[in-house]
Amino acid sequence: DVKVTQSSRYLVKRTGEKVFLECVQDMDHENMFWYRQDPGLGLRLIYFSYDVKMKEKGDIPEGYSVSREKKERFSLILESASTNQTSMYLCASTAAGQYEQYFGPGTRLTVT
Amino acid sequence: DAKTTQPPSMDCAEGRAANLPCNHSTISGNEYVYWYRQIHSQGPQYIIHGLKNNETNEMASLIITEDRKSSTLILPHATLRDTAVYYCIVIHSGNTPLVFGKGTRLSVIA
């Protein structure tokens, strides 16, 4: 079974802190994605990556950066957390040419 | 990517078939119809996808109209564990970013 794991299920951080959200997949997938999910807004794409050291901006990249140093790991970084970044963050991965994306369980981040 | 329209919510009695509709009237010839679902507090889960023909797997069936402007996801014998938000997505390829709408909240009732 494909496994996509995220470093924390719940996280509480203070405004201005630097926050790292980690995502690891164990199936050698080339493609990885970060989404955030907010009530009434659905899932929105933040960043994605088609290969190691590659990254592409999604629909809402402002305030975020990413790192993909190894194929299995895709990190989302909030350089200076703000309250409007309180959200559920979801990571997904898929292999090139594969049909389905596999999602992690999500990290519920609260910024106070 | 084509936009989709789904009803915001539906109820289904346990053991009965759940039929979830989706309109995608602007779909282009090389776009697939995908269905995902999200159970509360979990990440989305792939269910099924199709291009032109009807498809069936162990989870569900997908019926696509001949003009491809709409489709229906069928859960043949809904259980309480099928209570979730179901998303219909139209995309060129499964490994590109997904664009989620608001989906249909299906409640399976005992």
How confident is the model over A10-46, as pLDDT tens digits? 999 999 999 999 999 999 999 999 999 998 888 899 9
Report chain A's mean pLDDT, rounded to a whole number: 94
Q: Is B44 in contact with A90 (Cβ distance < 8 A)?
A: yes
Spell out which residues of chain B touch residue A58, defining contact as CB-CB under 8 Å: 97
Residues 52-91 of B with CB under 8 A from A: none
Confidence band, pLDDT 50/70/90 cuts, at residue B2: low
Could you tell me the two tokens for A100? 């389905």
User: What is the reported pLDDT for A2?
Assistant: 65
- The DSSP code for A78 is E
CB B83 within 8 A of CB B108: yes
- The DSSP code for B107 is E
Q: Is B43 in contact with A100 (Cβ distance < 8 A)?
A: no
| Nearest chain B Cα distance for residue A11, angstroms | 15
Q: Do you know the residue count of chain B? A: 110
> Most A CBs within 10 Å: which of B4, B37, B45, B95, as the mutation test of the A interface?
B95
Q: Is A99 in contact with B46 (Cβ distance < 8 A)?
A: yes
User: CB pairs below 8 Å between A and B: how many?
Assistant: 56
The average pLDDT across B5-27 equals: 96
Instruction: Say which of A44, A95, A101 has its CB closest to residue B46.
Output: A101
CB A109 within 8 A of CB A56: no
User: What is the reported pLDDT for A6?
Assistant: 96
Residues 6+ apart with CB under 8 A from A39: none
Please indicate if any CB of chain A lies within 8 Å of the CB of B98.
yes
Please indicate if any CB of chain B lies within 8 Å of the CB of A99.
yes
Residues 8-27 of A with CB under 8 A from B: none
Query: Each residue of B42-84: pLDDT tens digit?
Result: 999 999 999 998 999 999 999 999 999 999 999 999 999 999 9
Report chain B's mean pLDDT, rounded to a whole number: 93
The average pLDDT across B16-42 equals: 94
| Nearest chain B Cα distance for residue A79, angstroms | 23
Q: Residue A20 corresponds to which amino acid?
A: F
The average pLDDT across B30-44 equals: 92
Cα–Cα distance list, A107 to A19, A23, A74, B23, B91 (Å): 12, 10, 14, 32, 26
